[in-house]
Amino acid sequence: MNPFSLAANAALVTGSSQGIGLAIAHGVRAAGAAVVCHGLGPAPAAGELPPGSTYLAQDLLDANGPAALVAAALAIQPALDLLVCNAGGFFDVAFLETGPAQWERTMNLNVRANYFLVQAFARELKARGRTGAVVLVSSTNGFQPEEDSTVYDTSKGALVMMTRTLAQALAPQGIRVNSVAPGLIRTPLTAPGLDGDEARRRHYEKKILQGRIGAPSDCAGAAVFLLSPAAGYITGQVLVVDGGLTVGQIGRL
C-alpha cells in the first residue's frame, strides 16, 4: 500500500479556481482522490481544473455558505472525507485608515468561513460514522507581520490557533486537522507587485534561502502529504512552505 495515495478518498478544496488552491486541487487529484473544486464565480476555462473534477460556486461570506457548500459537495461526492480550506482574501489598507468594513470582510472570509466549513464537514462525517482529514491554508503572515497587513496578519494568526484547537476538538472523532503556511508565492494576488518592482523582487529572492519566489505547486505536495495516510500520526501542526524565507533574520546582502 502506498501511504501517500489518496485513491480511496474524495476531497473538497475551497478557493481552487486559481493560485494555491488550484495547485492543491491538481495535487490531490494526482494522488488519486476525487476532487470537488470551489470558487466565487464561474468555473475556470476548460482544461484548467483537475481532470474528472467538478466545480461549485459559493459565496463563503454568506452566513449559510459554508454549510451549503459542504452539502453540495457531498451530493456530488458521497464519499467525501477530505477538506482543504484555502479560500481567503486580502483587503488591507494602512492601519490608521482601516475601518470595520475591512476588518469584518477579512475576518469573516479568512476565519469565520473556515471555522464553519470545518464544523459542517465534521458534522456530516460524524453522521456517517466516518473519519477524515482537514488542511487549513494559513500563511507565514500568521507568524511574522507585514507592512500594511494588520487585519490579514491577524486573520492568518487566528488560523494557526484554529488548527490546534480544532485538532483537539475533533481528535475523538478521528478527524485530523493540520495546516500549511505558505510564504511568498507567485499567485494572481502577488504577481503584480512582484513583476512591477524588480528591486523588491530581488530583495525577496535574496531573503529566501532557496533564492526564488515560490510557485503554487510548491504548496501542493505539503497539503497532499498532510491529507494522506503517511501523515496519519500528525495533527494540530503547521507546515511552513516558504523556501526558508522565515529562517534567517536578515538575509543575504
Residue of 16, 149, 155, 156 marked catalytic: 156
Tell which residue, 136, 149, 49, has the closest CA to residue 93.
149
Radius of gyration of the chain, Cα coordinates, nearest whole angstrom: 18
* Per annotation, catalytic residue among 16, 17, 138, 139: 139
Read off φ and ψ for residue 180, nearest 5 degrees.
-110, 145
- Residue 6's H or E segment, with its range, is none
- Residue 139 falls in the annotated catalytic set: yes
Are 71 and 58 contacting, i.e. CB atoms less than 8 angstroms apart?
no
Strand order of the sheet with strand 175-182?
A: 54-57, 34-39, 10-13, 82-85, 132-137, 175-182, 238-241
Concerning whether 152 is annotated as a catalytic residue, the answer is yes
Catalytic residue among 17, 138, 152, 179: 152
Nine-digit cell at 210?
Answer: 532557496
Residues with active-site annotation:
139, 152, 156
